[in-house]
Chains A and B, each alone.
Chain A
């Protein structure tokens, strides 16, 4: 066991416990807070994978924007559920079983696949992924089209969210 492996195991344990709390905890505000913990642990996993920029984006976009949006939505719609009574529908046990079966199936396939025990190649010295990413996203021979499509999608989603949530009666 190297220190990196121990760090990975601790982080992934915290990630999975947080994710489990997100899907099972009764109070939805608490679920949103557990979601923040899950997203933060995912950022740590990105750091372990040498993707520091993505970790920063994860914290800024996911925790800073999406999780806060979730907390707003929970608080705006909270009176209905009152956080009592069962939060799961009648299929709870079947869904749990099939999720477990899915996990077991994926793990079984992974263990049978030879490439899954590969070690990471040495990270190339002097490789600046942030610059590469920035150049790639605006390079006409690179990813400028997906980048622009994502921009238009975000604009459309912004306008769509305003229109959908508009209270026309007031």
Chain B
């Protein structure tokens, strides 16, 4: 069978790739894609711990369902912000969106 650590290392690699995308991308839509990768890594971790520690307790899957709902909400609002920003300032590059800088 597959040891638990394989899933955890897979999730860690996916999380690191998502972090790289969030921190290095210029385009705001691509930054949101990186956030999605990180949320998926968390989901893999949650389901792996559910399966390996207590499959008869459903709480692990409920956590994952809540993460699904939160990420759907996050993407909807985030992409609406990006589109609204694009309409007003003709840019989706995160570095140019500096209205609030000190």
B-side interface mostly: helix
| Count of chain A to chain B residue pairs whose CB atoms are closer than 8 Å in the complex | 252
CA distance A102 to B15 in the complex (A): 9
Contact between chains at B17 and A124 (CB < 8 Å):
no
Contact between chains at B36 and A66 (CB < 8 Å):
yes
* Option from A20, A51, A133, A165 in Cβ contact (under 8 Å) with B83: A165
Contact pattern, B 56-80, Cβ under 8 Å of A = 1, otherwise 0: 1011011011101111111111011
* Option from B14, B64, B65, B72 in Cβ contact (under 8 Å) with A65: B72
* Option from A45, A95, A119 in Cβ contact (under 8 Å) with B24: A95
Count of chain A residues with a beta carbon within 8 Å of a chain B beta carbon: 89
Contact between chains at B81 and A164 (CB < 8 Å):
yes
Interfacial residues, chain B to chain A (CB-CB below 8 A): 1-10, 12-21, 23-27, 29-30, 32-34, 36-37, 40, 43-44, 47-48, 50-52, 55-56, 58-59, 61-62, 64-66, 68-77, 79-84, 86-87, 90-95
